[in-house]
Amino acid sequence: GVWECGPVTVDEWCGDAFAGAFDPGRGAQALTDAGWPFGPDGFWQDPSAEPMVVRWLVDAGHGRQRQLVDAFVPMMEAQGFDIEVVECDGSCVFAETVAAGDWDVAIFASDGLADVGMFERRFACGGAWNVAGVCDAELDALIGVASQTLDGDEQAAAIGDALVRMVD
């Protein structure tokens, strides 16, 4: 699949919650059923036949984000999505553009090793950088277990359960 581990990169945390979650045929059928046609340029158009451009917000000074753009834009275009990469620095991304809702896709990437604190800040209801829009009490409880335990197996299990919850 396109993204088998969801929002994590640590092998011990990557279960099968997102395995097979992306079905391009089912996605295309859902858009077609909703009246979205392909335009002459090979990209999806909205039901009024207006071109649909996905605005992807990227922190231009972040090397990891550049790697994601280089990897995902061709994949997304192959699925029929016209991507506009909007680059600005971190303060613009978080303080201005995200807050204004002036984006369709925003992916936060860090160069450092993934850790539970970063996972918590990104996905907990009160997370400082919760750009995913996820807010769920059961998910918060699982993240709490993962952030409070010192047992690696228990932490991996809690993160795995949290990923399943995200899929649900």
Written in H, E and C, the secondary structure of 60-122 is CCCHHHHHHHHHHHHHHHHCCCEEEEEEECHHHHHHHHHHHCCCCEECCCCCCCCCHHHHHHH
Q: Is the pTM of this model over 0.75?
A: no
What tens digit of pLDDT does each residue of 131-168 get?
667 788 998 999 899 989 888 899 989 988 988 888 77
